[in-house]
Amino acid sequence: MKAFIVDRYGRNGHGRNPAALRFGEMPEPELRDNDVLVQVHAAGVNALDAKIRNGEFKLILPYRLPLVLGNDVAGVVVRVGPGVRSFKPGDEIYARPHQDRIGSFAELIAMNESDVAIKPNKLSMEEAASIPLVGLTAWQALIERAQLKKGQKVFIHAGSGGVGTFAIQLAKYFGAFVATTTSTPNVEWVKRLGADVVIDYTKENFEEVLHDYDVVLNSLGSDALAKSVRVLKRGGKLISISGPPDSAFAKDIGANPFLAFVMRLLSFRIRRQARRRGIDYSFLFMRADGEQLRKVTALIDAGAIRPVVERVFPFESTNDALAYVEKGRARGKVVIKLR
């Protein structure tokens, strides 16, 4: 099958990946007893893909190379393992594959049925492929971990990005008061997504405007993380999807003692800042979950949440799609189309 492949990690001194992704042939994925084999129609492109390609997660996710990249998929089931009960050939599905079995930048992908959900009826394949990773990230941060309640105040960084556009809509559906940041051209657009307060980061500093928030969802760097502590009230929750990883995450992934120590060290400063102000800090690395994705599907089919896709690239331009995402200026999601 044709696929886009990581042969080696890293960047050169000019900040570019020397090998990019290689377009080539890979064997069809192995179909296990509880797997569905899916013909890929579209695949979402995420910042996570670029970070994996660049080797930023090689300690946390020790993949064997060569590796087919891709963390979002929409397509059609073509074959099922003997233990599969929930799907049959011909089903239109979407999924975020388990982190150990990524590979949606390819003609075929095999996934455990527990990670897969039937595609929302109203969405095209391209729209559906934009949802799983950001939808599950927002769900696990706001609903599962923060246990967001009606009337609470939540601050979502980078409201025009992939996670931000979904998280704003999800938080509003659950009755929260939502603040976010974006650049000048996107202010009114993000308000239409549902944000109650939109801070133009080119003109204002969010930490000087926002106060007494219950939850912050951070997707930016360490500077934004440190400033986010000031926004929260005592007992608030600071959830970061961009790090630094903490001890709880080290335990979740079964990190060896040295790696667990490194993670504690990396998160020491922000954990200390948070603790001094009575705030709970945690790092979230989202996981595949077909059951949660079905809950997301229900919200989409009910019209409560709509996908935001800025650009669709042809399959052969996957490297261009990744480069576009890396610039950090996409409004919503970028998708590659295979069929």
pLDDT digit string (tens) for 220-230?
999 999 999 99
Q: Which amino acid is at 244?
A: P
Both 62 and 110 in one domain: the answer is yes
> How many domains is the chain built from?
2
In a domain, 296, yes or no: no
What's the confidence (pLDDT) of residue 10? 78
For residue 253, pLDDT beyond 90: no
Both 219 and 187 in one domain: the answer is yes
Both 179 and 115 in one domain: the answer is no
Both 266 and 322 in one domain: the answer is no
pLDDT band, very low/low/confident/very high, at 235 (cuts 50, 70, 90):
very high
In a domain, 301, yes or no: no
What is the domain-level CATH number for residue 331? 3.90.180.10
Least confident interval from 16-20, 43-47, 56-60, 244-248? 16-20
Both 261 and 174 in one domain: the answer is yes
Instruction: Residue 112: give the domain boundaries.
Output: 2-131+307-337
In a domain, 140, yes or no: yes
Both 271 and 149 in one domain: the answer is yes
Both 221 and 244 in one domain: the answer is yes
